Amino acid sequence: MAAVITVRGPFAFMRRLVSARLHKHCCSRVQVACLAHRPHSYSLTAGPQHRFFHTSYVAAGPILQFKLSDIGEGIMEVTVKEWYVKVGDKVSQFDSICEVQSDKASVTITSRYDGIIRKLYYEIDSIANVGKPLVDIETDTGKVEGPQEDVVETPAMSQEEHTHQEIKGHKTQATPAVRRLAMENNIKLSEVVATGKDGRILKEDILNFIARQTGAILPPAPFEEIQPPPPAPSVPSAPAAKPAPSIPTPVVPKPVFTGKDRTESIKGFQKAMVKTMSSALKIPHFGYCDEVDLTQLVRLRSELKGLSESRGVKLSYMPFFIKAASLGLLHFPILNASLDENCTNITYKAAHNIGLAMDTTQGLLVPNVKNVQMLSVFEIGVELNRLQTLGASGQLGTSDLMGGTFTLSNIGSIGGTYAKPVILPPEVAIGALGKMQVLPRFNSKGDLVKAHIMTVSWSADHRIIDGATMCRFSNMWRSYLENPASMVLDLK
């Protein structure tokens, strides 16, 4: 008895479906729909000994190696942080393939071709080299009818196997903070059971996974050892006093510690910090500290805060600190310079690209606001809001992180008062801003008043900058902030 099967779908799917054994008394026509593919007809003759069928299939396009191109700044290797595709996925041009992280920035790699992913060359957290293949893509080159061939039925893939593959290739959902916690503990997110909404992995899931892996052994319950009373003398020579009641002495067992040391390689932004700080400590630093009375600036900012928020920008004190620094650099350009490795040439930078040290989920990053000398306080606030949003989500680009000429570090946002900041080569100066405190101070009339005081700690390259220059710059910067109306005279 002959059974006629009409199948719609790619050749590989048809082979798996037809490979299922047909019962003698099943219906003579089976139809399977697979979207986005045109139908092809296949005939099968069922006999007691052999079951063969002829196929007319669509020839596959050429498989191209999609290589990791040069992402600039002399970067030769990156770490693969996340795959957005899996084998078998169909991609189009400009679709996201994966996210990689160099020692300077995170970059999303997009596809150059339309086609189907056939191979992934790297696992998560593996090192990928520039110029080497990332994935193999079977490109779309038009449907071409291929030669006919005899195909023997093969065992079909079960529904359970298909479901397992879909789950295995599913993209994990987690915040950057959770991903960093997993990376620090060398945990693959695909192995963690998610309890958040829509399959999102929470911080508690990571901590529970760590607890299951380490499995602390609880100490046994303490027990009491009771010492028997001393034996009574055989012949008492005098009335014996009553022995003191024995006090049970608890024996506390020593806890068993099961933790293990963990060693991991230094990579990504941490690797960049090692390189930068090693170079920085070759510079002879000198420090200078002072305090600034921000009472008038606090009053001015409170007046402008509502207006700024009505324009969609959160106005902090940092735009004022950055603008005052730029005004001071106009008078002391040596602080906005760089020194070559041989200490033979000084380059005075025309642009004031003032960096702001940020504590992000990826570690310490220093993006910079470009051309501060041409921006208003409000425009600086707009740019700071953009950089802080990108930093919080781990999306700061190379252009945001490169080209800085002068840096301010706001340690006061965490709670510090004084610091000894380290210069970021090739810059020659950096300032660390302490927390603002309400402290008693005497005004010009000798009256005791409340004042908003902030400390500042400067570090400078003592090879080309002397203490007097740093002191004069700090005094000018402080005067702009203590009397913010004076900045209006110098704004352009």
CA distance 68 to 129: 7
- Whole-prediction pTM: 0.55
pLDDT above 50 for 117? yes
Higher-pLDDT residue of 16, 374: 374
* Confidence tier at 356 by pLDDT (50, 70, 90): very high
Query: Which of these, 140, 154, 148, lies nearest to 51 by C-alpha position?
Result: 154
Ranges 13-22, 104-113, 196-205, 296-305, most confident: 296-305
**What per-residue confidence (pLDDT) applies to 328?**
97
Q: Does the annotation mark 25 as catalytic?
A: no
pLDDT exceeds cutoff 80 at 284: yes
Predicted confidence at residue 263, as pLDDT, reads: 86
Report whether pLDDT(485) > 50: yes
pLDDT band with cut points at 50, 70 and 90 for residue 95: confident
Between CA 207 and CA 171 the distance in angstroms is 21
DSSP assignment letter at 335: G
Cis ω on the peptide bond leading into residue 426 (within 30° of 0)? yes
- Which residue is catalytic, options 40, 285, 452, 462? 462
385-427: per-residue pLDDT in tens? 999 999 888 888 888 999 999 999 998 888 888 899 999 999 9
Place of tokens 């933790």: 259
Q: Helix or strand or coil: residue 106? A: strand
Tens of pLDDT, residues 434-444: 999 999 999 88
What distance in Å separates the CA atoms of residue 446 and residue 250, rounded to the nearest whole number?
66
Amino acid at 114: D
Active site annotation includes 490: no
Q: What is the mean pLDDT of the chain?
A: 77
Higher pLDDT, 20 or 481: 481
Predicted local distance difference test score (pLDDT) of residue 68: 84
Mean pLDDT computed over 345-367: 91
Residue 212 pLDDT: 74
Share of the chain above pLDDT 70, in %: 73
